[in-house]
Amino acid sequence: MRHGALVQVEYVDLGEPEGKAEHPEVLRRIEEEGLPYPLVAVNGTLRLAGSAHYSHVLPLVDEAIASQSGS
């Protein structure tokens, strides 16, 4: 893994009752903005809709790590 312990990945299925209960604000945005699945959030902020491809996600993770480390 490129970033090892610096990164935590969590999968939430918004089609399941638990996912719906935990993230009603995301469901609201999906409905209001017509967002396509899958969704990717980085540090709690929605960053991608319609793709969770490694090449799309990695730059966002790199950016988040750099901003937290001050580089």
- pLDDT score of 62: 93
Three-state SS sequence of the chain: CCCHHHCCCCCCCCCCHHHHHHCHHHHHHHHHHCCCCCEEEECCEEEEECCCCHHHHHHHHHHHHHHHHCC
Q: How far apart are CA 53 and CA 38, in angstroms?
A: 10
Task: Evaluate if residue 63 carries a pLDDT over 90.
Answer: yes
- Indicate whether 8 pLDDT > 90: no
pLDDT digits (tens, 9 = 90+) for 28-54: 999 999 999 999 999 989 999 999 999
Q: pLDDT over 70 for what percent of the chain? A: 97
Mean pLDDT estimate for the chain = 91
Confidence of residue 24 (pLDDT cuts 50, 70, 90): very high
